[in-house]
Amino acid sequence: MDNSNAVPEEWEAKLIDYTLGVMEPGDAASFEASLEECRKHVQFARQYSEVVGWLGAVVPPQEPPSGHKNRLMSRLASTPQTELTASSMRAETPASQPTLRVLPSLPAQEPYAGATAERTAQPATMTDIEAYREKRTNTGLLAALGAVAAAVILLVGFWGWNAQNDKQRAEQQVAQLQSQLNTLASRPNVPPGYKALSLPPQPNYSGVNALVLYNPGTTDAVFFANGLPQLPANQVYELWLLKAQGNPDKGGVFTADPTGSATHPTTSPQTLAQYTGFAVTIEPSPGVDVATGPAVVVGTYATP
Amino acid sequence: MDHSLTADDQLVAHVAEGDASALEALYDRYVRQCFGLALRMVGDPALSEEVVQEVFLKVWTRPGSYSNTKGKFVSWLLSLIHHRCIDELRRRSRTEVALEDPDTGSVLDTAHDPDPEPADQVWVMEQQRAVRAALEKIPPNQRQVLELAYYRGLSHSEIAANLGQPLGTVKTRIRLGMQSLRQLLEPQGLLTD
């Protein structure tokens, strides 16, 4: 890199192409290397990034579709904030395209303005971004909650579409589930590491979709299902915690709502790592100590 | 909490503290601009909606990725929208998924926001006017390649093929156009010193 104060014209041209996103992928990779090395023209680079941002302001505003805000705020409620301290934050980089790898983060990485020890140890590279994205997908409880919420919302939404009269109930169900998820997520002592276990339906119950959100290190789990058949008044669904040996422990009883969905939180006698899975059976009301009825769904995870 | 008079920087700081109402305020302030840009670029309302949601979720999950040393929040936000849209445009070109064609006319042919929302801040509209004026000042052939690059996400070679111009000519026009824009916007106070 030229050490003079003037910005070399060739480098400026590359910076423009890179910032604008028009650089060919192969060229972008080598230019990124020069960005890492060149620390003196950070302001210059920032200004071009700002120009790119401002170009977006020329387009006339448009009203987003109805319900857009509600959908965003709903997603927000189930999305964890991954980094909340300035020292731990680095720029987000979108981009599946090499050309765009660090564009929005160009000013944020500040490779020119004096790299911190953290940045030296963790240069903002694509590997960094992929690691971050992977970390986000494995964030644990809240990420799992988000996935579960999305799945439940989709399923409930499907019912609402199928049966117009169910729409309102479906919306109430979504709100109820969201509230429960938020409650669970807000518990201060809930550690990360929750998992979602799908419980496959048993024969004669192929229309049932079920999963359990659980943390092996705790006794807390939440069962979600839809497509559950309506039961007569003298029967209930009962959740069981399966063991490697011996009778399953009881996980409580529940009923399905008119749309066939159910949400059932449970607290197990032992930490969930001591169990091997979950099952739901149909039992006489108000429930039994040892399972007797037909299994509706059964799912297992690693044995202890 | 009423955030209507809170500055963007402060709202971002509130977001970093987990205040969803601050994010909501930023959304109310800029979603129409963000959605307008996304729709202009990708042409598909559903995809535009998703792009905008993802970007605001990104602000929520990583509020510290913005700081005022990077310039105005809205500029940074729109750059996120732009890059996310380019990702989508290139993904589309790879998979050849048929979607609606985005608007291919000059952005200057579009009208100013005919019906600004009360929530739109006056200074945002003023900044939009300033950028538009700067874009109008650069030579048409430079503006043309910039618009193809910016709003349609075309690469040098794609622009050259599109216009039937030599690759070097396209590169030169892009460079000169961006240099002019930077020089025109800096005195307007739109760029960091």
Residue-wise pLDDT tens digits, B129-179: 888 899 999 999 999 999 999 988 888 888 999 899 999 999 999 999 999
Q: Side by side, which strands form the sheet with A235-242?
A: A249-254, A235-242, A277-284, A295-300
Q: Side by side, which strands form the sheet with A220-226?
A: A195-198, A209-214, A220-226, A262-267
* CA triple A165-A166-A168, angle to 5 deg: 95
Instruction: Flag whether pLDDT at A161 surpasses 50.
Output: no
A10, A17, A19, A22, best to mutate vs chain B, most B CBs in 10 Å: A22
Distance from CA of B107 to the nearest CA of A (A): 6
The mean of the pLDDT values for chain B is: 83
Higher confidence at residue B104 or residue A1?
B104
The beta-carbon neighbor of A54 closest among B75, B111, B174 is B75
Q: What is the pLDDT of residue A99?
A: 31
Chain Cα centroid distance, residue A243: 29
Q: What is the pLDDT of residue A127?
A: 27
Which chain A residue shows the shortest CA-CA distance from B181? A51
- State pLDDT tens for residues A212-270: 888 888 888 888 888 899 999 899 999 999 988 888 999 999 999 888 888 888 889 98
Q: What is the pLDDT of residue A105?
A: 39
Measure the CA–CA gap between B44 and B42, rounded to whole angstroms: 6
- B61 vs A91, A103, A206, B84, CA distance in Å? 11, 19, 38, 16
The beta-carbon neighbor of A22 closest among B58, B131, B174 is B174
* Token pair recorded at residue A121: 């140890």
* CA triple A139-A143-A149, angle to 5 deg: 170
- A288 vs A2, A189, A241, A275, CA distance in Å? 80, 31, 14, 19
Maximum distance among all alpha carbons in chain B?
56
Measure the CA–CA gap between A194 and A212, rounded to whole angstroms: 10
CB A104 within 8 A of CB A20: no
- State pLDDT tens for residues A41-84: 677 778 888 898 899 888 888 889 888 998 898 888 877 776 44
* CA triple A80-A85-A91, angle to 5 deg: 80
CB A91 within 8 A of CB A105: yes
Which chain B residue shows the shortest CA-CA distance from A83? B62
B chain contacts of residue A92, beta-carbon cutoff 8 Å: 58, 62, 65, 80
DSSP state of B138: S
Q: At A145, is the pLDDT very low, low, confident or very high (cuts 50, 70, 90)?
A: low
Distance from CA of B6 to the nearest CA of A (A): 20
- Closest-CA residue to A236 (of A264, A200, A277, A273): A264
CA trace torsion A159, A162, A163, A166 (10° rounding): 20
Distance from CA of B169 to the nearest CA of A (A): 13
The beta-carbon neighbor of B27 closest among A16, A24, A69 is A69
Q: Are B87 and A83 inside 8 Å of each other by CB?
A: no
Instruction: Flag whether pLDDT at A98 surpasses 70.
Output: no
B chain contacts of residue A77, beta-carbon cutoff 8 Å: 20
Q: Is A91 on the interface with B (CB under 8 A)?
A: yes
- A3 vs A33, A38, A106, A231, B193, CA distance in Å? 17, 9, 20, 79, 21
H helices of B6-121, where?
A: 8-16, 20-42, 45-61, 73-95
Q: ipTM of this model?
A: 0.86
The beta-carbon neighbor of A79 closest among B28, B57, B87 is B57
Q: What is the pLDDT of residue B126?
A: 73
Q: What is the pLDDT of residue A112?
A: 23
Q: Which of residues 113-172 of A touch B (CB under 8 A)?
A: 136
Q: What is the pLDDT of residue A238?
A: 94
- A54 vs A24, A94, A196, B1, B124, CA distance in Å? 23, 18, 43, 29, 11
Measure the CA–CA gap between A235 and A285, rounded to whole angstroms: 5
B chain contacts of residue A42, beta-carbon cutoff 8 Å: none
In a 13 Å sphere around the CA of A25, the CA atoms on its Cβ side amount to 6
The beta-carbon neighbor of B150 closest among A55, A95, A103 is A55
Q: Are B113 and A50 inside 8 Å of each other by CB?
A: no
The beta-carbon neighbor of B36 closest among A62, A75, A89 is A62
Q: Are A53 and B32 inside 8 Å of each other by CB?
A: no
B59, B70, B104, best to mutate vs chain A, most A CBs in 10 Å: B70
Q: Are B132 and A58 inside 8 Å of each other by CB?
A: yes
Other Cβ atoms within 10 Å of A27 Cβ, number: 16
